Amino acid sequence: MTSSTSLSLFATASSSDRKRKRIRYPHYTRSLRKQKAILWKRWKLSNAPEDKVLYKTATVKCKNAIDKFHAAKKLALVRKTTLVVSLVLLIIG
């Protein structure tokens, strides 16, 4: 048995997928993404300019919601880190 075949016997196909954590967006953001997909499909089937406008506004709303979600996650992480650092400094100092 060569090294490549022995590796393929024991390595799972989804081993790299486990390293990447999926982002679970809030219900509001998920519903915006679903609505955006519906509007995209409608626009592509009809090719109407008013459907394109609806899709573009849904895209902007969805992007803003996702950006707001990530900003809140970063802010929570910064606050958590700041709290830990101040507690450590309080214990040491």
| pLDDT tens digit sequence for 27-49 | 999 999 999 999 999 999 999 99
pTM given for the model: 0.69
CB atoms within 10 A of CB 25: 16
Q: How far is CA 44 from the centre of its chain?
A: 25
The pLDDT tens digits of the residues spanning 15-29 come to: 566 667 889 999 999
Mean pLDDT along residues 61-87: 92
